[in-house]
């Protein structure tokens, strides 16, 4: 229990949870006010998933990575658990709206986007460090939200975040990104960098 408390605190998870919940609530409130439609538009859902997921980017390392690496702790399984729980929390936060008057769904869509975006963040954390890991998923997802493409296949793969939940190429792309991020971050952990680039 003590380890868990210290771990969560060193990762600033409370901040991430508060901001992710606040951001989701804000988007939910905006949709509630701005639209009569119960089901939120997919662009709004994409942006909400992005906000919630991006809040967890900085939780992928602590104040001193080098010190932690010297500890006799099995980090890989903790890193994997951390990522999977972050995915669970992100999906749960967004899907909690399904019980309300403004529904952000469908569940498969949210799960796919959250997994893909968190995979990209984890991949970025392993390659350039958690502090900068959100740049690529942020710009990619914002671009897709503004310029969605229904066809052809390369465009579908490039805009996987916006495809309907049944789209197989989009699901495969998201799964590949999620697995790549999970494996890379689990195996290597946050990128080794000067203290100046830590979150």
Number of residues that bind another protein (CB under 8 A): 28
Among residues 102, 126, 145, 177, the one that binds another protein under rule CB under 8 A: 145
Considering the complex, state which of residue 138 and residue 178 has its C-beta at the smaller distance from another protein: 138
Among residues 109, 134, 160, 185, the one that binds another protein under rule CB under 8 A: 134
Could you identify the residue written with the tokens 């932690």? 68
Phi and psi at residue 95, to the nearest 5°: -75, -15
Binding region for another protein (CB under 8 A) out of 70-78, 98-106, 142-150, 165-173: 142-150
CB neighbours of residue 148 within 10 Å = 15
CB neighbours of residue 175 within 10 Å = 15
Residues 163, 164, 170, 171, Cα dihedral to 10°: 150
Chain-centre distance for alpha carbon 37: 26
Interface with another protein, residue 40, by CB under 8 A: no
Residues 18-37 that bind another protein (CB under 8 A): 19, 23
- List C-alpha distances in Å: 62 to 11, 90, 111, 143, 152: 5, 20, 27, 30, 42
Q: Are 30 and 48 in contact (CB under 8 A)?
A: no
**Rounded to an integer, what distance in angstroms lies between the CA atom of residue 132 and that of residue 99?**
34
**Rounded to an integer, what distance in angstroms lies between the CA atom of residue 131 and that of residue 76?**
20
Cβ of residue 74: shortest distance to another protein, in angstroms? Answer: 26
Binding region for another protein (CB under 8 A) out of 80-88, 89-97, 169-177, 190-198: 190-198
Cβ of residue 1: shortest distance to another protein, in angstroms? Answer: 26
Interface with another protein, residue 10, by CB under 8 A: no
Interface with another protein, residue 16, by CB under 8 A: yes
Interface with another protein, residue 51, by CB under 8 A: yes
Interface with another protein, residue 54, by CB under 8 A: yes
Residues that bind another protein (CB under 8 A): 12, 15-16, 19, 23, 47, 50-51, 54-55, 57-58, 131-132, 134-135, 138-139, 142-143, 145-147, 195-199
């Amino acid at each position: 229990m003590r380890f868990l408390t210290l771990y969560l605190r060193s990762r600033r998870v409370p901040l991430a949870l508060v901001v992710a919940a606040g951001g989701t609530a804000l988007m939910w409130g905006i949709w509630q006010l701005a639209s009569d439609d119960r089901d939120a538009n997919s662009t709004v859902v994409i942006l909400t998933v992005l906000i919630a997921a991006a809040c967890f980017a900085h939780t992928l390392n602590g104040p001193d990575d080098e010190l932690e690496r010297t500890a006799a702790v099995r980090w890989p399984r903790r890193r994997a658990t951390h990522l999977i729980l972050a995915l669970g929390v992100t999906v749960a936060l967004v899907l909690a709206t399904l019980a309300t008057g403004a529904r952000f769904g469908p569940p498969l869509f949210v799960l796919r986007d959250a997994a893909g975006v968190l995979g990209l963040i984890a991949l970025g954390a392993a390659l350039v460090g958690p502090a900068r890991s959100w740049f690529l998923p942020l710009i990619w997802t914002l671009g897709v939200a503004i310029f969605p493409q229904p066809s052809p296949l390369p465009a579908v793969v490039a805009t996987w975040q916006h495809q309907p939940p049944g789209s197989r190429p989009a699901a495969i792309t998201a799964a590949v990104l999620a697995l790549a991020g999970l494996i890379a971050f689990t195996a290597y952990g946050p990128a080794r960098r000067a203290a100046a680039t830590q979150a």
